[in-house]
Amino acid sequence: MELELEMEKVQVLIIGSGPAGYTAAIYASRAGLKPVLYQGGQPGGQLTITNDVENYPGYPDGVIGPQMMMDFQKQAERFGTDIRYGLVTATDFSSYPLKATVDEKHEIEAEAVIISTGASAKWLGLPSEEKFNGKGVSACAVCDGFFFKGQDVVIVGAGDTAAEEATYLSKLANKVYMLVRRDEMRASKIMQHRVKNTANIEILWNTDTVEIEGNDTVESVRVKNNQTGEERVLEAQGFFVAIGHKPNTDIFKGQLDLDESGYIKTIPGSSKTNIEGVFATGDAQDHIYRQAVTAAGSGCMGALDAERFLAAKEVELVD
């Protein structure tokens, strides 16, 4: 007969790591809230697959993503954060205290929950994407475009994000090839106008990626016209995928208010969700900026909002 596990009670539960989760942990632990942080399926988040980070303040010589996340983790641990391996597989925010299940077996009851589950870039699904990830392949032009200054690059996508990133890359790269699968773009008219009127952006319509080629780094991209079947090789040193991101918020469906893409809705100017005591930070609620520094800032907001929420709860109990 299987014994029922005892419910563990914690003050603040942080779901997910990365800049948002670790920053929330730093602030919450310094405030004496004794946070417990579960790192999730990808400890450290998307930055652990990012080679060079040069745009985060405080690292004048740049830093590799995994090292940066180790620094964040050490700082959170220094102030007493209980950091654990494990994946929160279910939540129940229907009553207070709030409840979560870790790895489908361990039950936790929390007075406040800070969500920092992030988002995952959508990829084309080519084996070469994984092979060259961080070696010429990227899902963030703003993060990595600088490394391709004066070089030729390829970007895949047809929406506003792709158009915006293509325009951004055009200011750094020598040439930008933009691959669009259909004979039209989904981007807004103003974004299309900018792309079409940028001299060093060449749009290849009805074009799919066949393979990313190279030895240690990206050297070329083989593409195919999906109407004629004709293939050609584009000499390029960078390959950017801009077909969207998927927020890691599936376990909150039906409990938290999400937008049409699955991002958690927060009250403007705060990290508060529609459930009292639940706060959302980082890329799980940010589909606009998606930068390490903005994620860290929102992690700070989440911890401060949680601290104020718990302080107000104490006053209620005293009254």
Residues labelled catalytic: 140, 143-144
Q: Could you tell me the two tokens for 188?
A: 């807004």
Query: By C-alpha distance, which of 292, 295, 311, 245 is closest to 111?
Result: 311
Q: Around Cβ 127, how many Cβ atoms within 10 Å?
A: 9
Identify the CA nearest to 72 among candidates 23, 38, 12. 23
CB 177 within 8 A of CB 236: yes
The residue type found at 167 is: T
**Which helix or strand (DSSP H or E) is residue 195 part of?**
helix 189-196
Q: What is the rounded CA–CA span in Å between residue 158 and residue 191?
A: 10
CA 238 to chain centroid, in Å, comes to: 21
CA 28 from centroid of its chain's CA atoms? 22
Q: What's the alpha-carbon Rg for the chain, to the nearest Å?
A: 22
Beta bridge partners of 107: 101
β pairing state of 88-92 and 98-102? antiparallel
Longest pairwise C-alpha distance within the chain: 75
Work out the angle at residue 213's Cα, subtended by the Cα atoms of residues 208 and 216, and round it to the nearest 5 degrees. Answer: 145
21 Cβ contact list (under 8 Å, min separation 6): 14, 15, 37, 39, 45, 114, 116, 281, 282, 299
∠ CA 271-275-279, nearest 5°, is: 25
On the question of a cis peptide bond just before residue 97, with omega within 30 degrees of 0, the verdict is: yes
